[in-house]
Structure 1
Amino acid sequence: MRFAVMGGTGLIGSRTVKRLNADGNEAVPHSKSTGVDVITGQGLDEALAGTDVVIDLTNSPTFDDASPDFFRQSVRNLLEAGRKAGVRHAVALSIVGVDQVPELDYYRAKTLQEELLAAGPIPYSIVRATQFMEFVDSIMSWTADAAGVRLPATPIQPIAAQDVADAVAEIAAGDPLQGIHNIAGPEVFPLDELGRITLAARSDSWTVTTDDSAGMFAVVRGDVLTAGPDASLAPTRYSDWLASHKGP
């Protein structure tokens, strides 16, 4: 099968391309650096010519109120180019619980992306993943200062980027779901405790203060960012991932 992976040079995209090709497929990475722009449409027709499956792993350059416009335009362009090319399956990566946090501009934007894909002309699959293990350092940096890090006790179920890529590749190689598949890491942590575990593993002297008003995840209610019983659980535990990663 031939796959066009939009955002194929990024964290998840590069891993997805590698996995698909290792499985005997032809997966081609596309991004602005390869001459394909999902916003202007530049290079899309050429990228999707002869493609069986398009995988959308692109991302908005901002998390603010400009992000809905990115997904609105990019999805419309991808679907139109895919329709013309005869693409048989469109796959997008989203976030577990994304429709349960309307207070966040970016989550509303990702929900819009899902809605546009579902309403489009191409059979589709949506893979919703929990927060990436690779992003824990970035999350801590949002509320870090000279005194340490402030984090809410929001329940988080981190998943490794490689496990996300493997799941996306598996779903993309199958029949369209016409729905959503949830994936998550095997363990749930309060975010503040996850910060402490991360810093301790790196012998970092910073301290974590529990502050339920700190950072983006402060607005999250309950455990909506953790997976339900229907989710597929990935194998990588956070302690094992930490042991193999000195940094993000």
Structure 2
Amino acid sequence: MKPLDLASAVFLLVATGVVRAGAPEPAADAPATAPPAYKLTAGLYRFSDHATGWDVNLRHSSDLGNVWIGYFRLASQNTTQWRAGWDHNYGTAVRFSPSIQFASGGFVGGSVQVETGDPWFVGAGLGRTNLRPYWNLNFDPNDAYTLLAGHRRTDSQLFMVQLVRDNRQNPDQRHLHFTWRQPLAEGERLTLDALYKTGLVENERIRRWGLSATYDWPNWFVRLAWDPNTNFTPVDAWRLSVGSRF
């Protein structure tokens, strides 16, 4: 796909979301509708070494969990990777959340997370991979343990602190997330995720702050993120994502 094609795809996603967001509200006595089953996201990545990447991801949600497929391309290195995965949440008093990911090139990874408490909650998780080449687009260490705690209300309001620490090849690498999600009027929502990262990059210890901001409408969303020393390399990254639910 050429860069112009990606820009056109992003524009179509935004335009589609605007049309849906501006559609008339259903009548008060209309039957409740199920949440959208599909989520389509297009992401653009701009790195400080002047490389540009993009990805497209389609997710389907059902009683069996979330199944997704994605494609990533880094044009400057002529690098591509297909990926797919599954995740699900089980339980109420104690929530158990397994996931598994696959990618072209032989990569396989998985994670498990356990959480309890309502509205105050605590949790822990563990991730493992087979260490095959993988473009990590969430930028948290994959072979890591996770500790989390926070407060969640039924109206989707959330405050959470989460520690992600590599426990395999680079145990010095740590991400500390401070996440705040606030529901707004007419089904809109704002999510802020402040990131504090520490670890070794080319034998020098870094201490950097990053930030991700997401604004959700009922049927579409936009996210802008700044990730310094992305994946604990000397390279910084900006990420712009636009998506639609349908």
Provide the TM-score with structure 1 as the length reference.
0.30
* Structure with greater proportional strand content: 2
* Structure with greater proportional helix content: 1
Provide the TM-score with structure 2 as the length reference.
0.31
Higher RCO (CA 8 Å, separation ≥ 6 residues): 1
